[in-house]
Structure 1
Amino acid sequence: MTHGNGHAFPFPATRWSRVVQARRDELPQAQAALEELCQAYWQPVTGYIRALGCVEHAEDLAQDFFAQFLRAEGFQQAQQERGTLRSYLKAAIRHQVWHWRRDQATQRRGGGHEAIELDENIPAADTASDLAYDEQWALTVLERALSALKAGYARRGRLLLYEQLKPTLLAQDSDLAALASQLGITRNALAVEQHRARRRLADLLRAQVADTVPDPAEIDPELLHLLRVLARQ
């Protein structure tokens, strides 16, 4: 793939890749991309901090976490090899929480502390907290895709149809006949509309996931992982 300025890029210009690229080129879009990411994934970050045991201070720690990244201390240091945005943030949050706990322990002791190599001392990932984080991440991706789908129906003046269809989009079995009667259309017409909505939702989910991976080849594995997480709920 070749950008308009003639430089080859190894992956498409999604939000995540724009942020990674900003690490090298200081692109003017970098700040906007960072703010979009912070806003989009505030809930998974805050939820993961709580799952790691920092319940009372979760929002403050999340604010500090994103503030550091917005000061070019986090996202711009990302490497393509770090994988998905989900996994990158997970590791970064665990580092921050460990930092905070170390500082709290130091304050309780009333003394200074020596520099510690985090990579050697960071605790191992916890299955329960990681699962909670992935669940909130998957819900955020789904909610953003549904919001985009809803906006499309609203632009066409069919918001009521969307609200009626929404519960059926992820359900394996739904009573389309009763819903069609309620809407005053045939069951077949409603089935066609449901099929189109599901296809559009699938495209929107892929688009959301594409913004969080560095390479198109990672879209399907990441999407499959998130769908499996949602299926467990």
Structure 2
Amino acid sequence: MTTAEGNSTFQPTRWTLVQRVKDACAGEAQEALNELCGMYWKPLYAYARGYGRSMEDAEDVVQGFMAKGVEKALFAAADREKGKMRTFLLTAFKRYLRDEHAKSIAVKRGEGKVDTMDIAAEEARWEDSDAEDPTLSFDKRWALIVVESAREQLRKKYYREGKEDFYEALAQCLTGELDGGYQEVADQLGVSLSSVKVGVHRMRKRFGEMLRAEILETIGEGEDPDDELKYLIAVLSD
């Protein structure tokens, strides 16, 4: 996939990796599957923690979901035509949590024990407290992954072009203004003030293109990437 500049190659992400899981040979498919699991571990962990699970319990349930997902070809069932990747994944995770809860109830009843967890109460817990909606926690972590992935692609692009110093000096402009101001950066790099201003404009433009390309790899066919971008920005600003 390329940016509007037409010469930036992106690493395989989201739907591209899903397609590899479905179509590639065993070795490449497993590699793509491992990468997908690595990408989505933190959002799922944030969701599990949002329901009050301990760190260890949240880790265990996410690991269990990922392991079962690999065994049951979770990502092979994903379909871009049906909507966003994050919606697909969270829906599957919720289903897994409910299934695991049902199993635990059956085991406890079989052992004559009383089950003390009400999953419906767990899902409604945050509504009666100051806790953040677990789905919002999931979306925030998701947004961070998308942003960091785009930022990493931008860094790689500048490094490939031999502009490491330029990137490191200007990267702050992606989240705010440059420390010390434009003139100080110009003096540091040994370039003109106008070169720094143009560089900042170009870097922000490139980052926007890469961020949009990353988002395109997470949404369904026909969905508007700009709407998703606005939502993710709002989530991070909340």
* TM bucket normalised to smaller: 0.7 to 0.9
Q: For residues 61-116 of structure 1, what are the alpha-carbon distances to aligned partners after superposition, in whole Å with 9 as ceiling and x for unaligned? A: 2222122222244222234454101111112222222333333344444449xxxx
1:150 aligns with 2:149: no
CA distance in 2, matches of 1:229, 1:54: 23
Asked if the contact 2:219–2:225 (Cα under 8 Å) also holds between the matched residues in 1, the reply is: yes
Match for 1:164 among 160, 164, 169? 169
Q: TM-score, normalised by structure 2?
A: 0.74
| Partner SS for 1:189 | helix
1:27 alignment counterpart: 23
What pairs with 1:122-141 in structure 2 (closer than 5 Å)? 123=123, 128-141=133-146
1:69 alignment counterpart: 69
CA distance in 2, matches of 1:32, 1:73: 14
CA distance in 2, matches of 1:83, 1:63: 25
Amino acid at match of 2:86: R
Amino acid at match of 2:53: C
Q: In percent, how many aligned pairs have the same letter? A: 33
1:209 aligns with 2:215: yes
Q: TM-score, normalised by structure 1?
A: 0.75
1:189 aligns with 2:195: yes
2:4 alignment counterpart: none
1:107 to 1:187, Cα distance in 2 relative to 1, 3 A: farther
Structure 2 residues not aligned, in runs of 5+? 1-11, 113-119, 127-131
Give the CA deviation at 1:221. 1.7
| Partner SS for 1:217 | coil
CA distance in 2, matches of 1:189, 1:21: 42
Asked if the contact 1:20–1:79 (Cα under 8 Å) also holds between the matched residues in 2, the reply is: no
Q: For residues 186-231 of structure 1, what are the alpha-carbon distances to aligned partners after superposition, in whole Å with 9 as ceiling and x for unaligned? A: 2211111111111111111112111112215332221221122223
1:222 aligns with 2:228: yes
1:38 alignment counterpart: 37
Amino acid at match of 1:41: Y
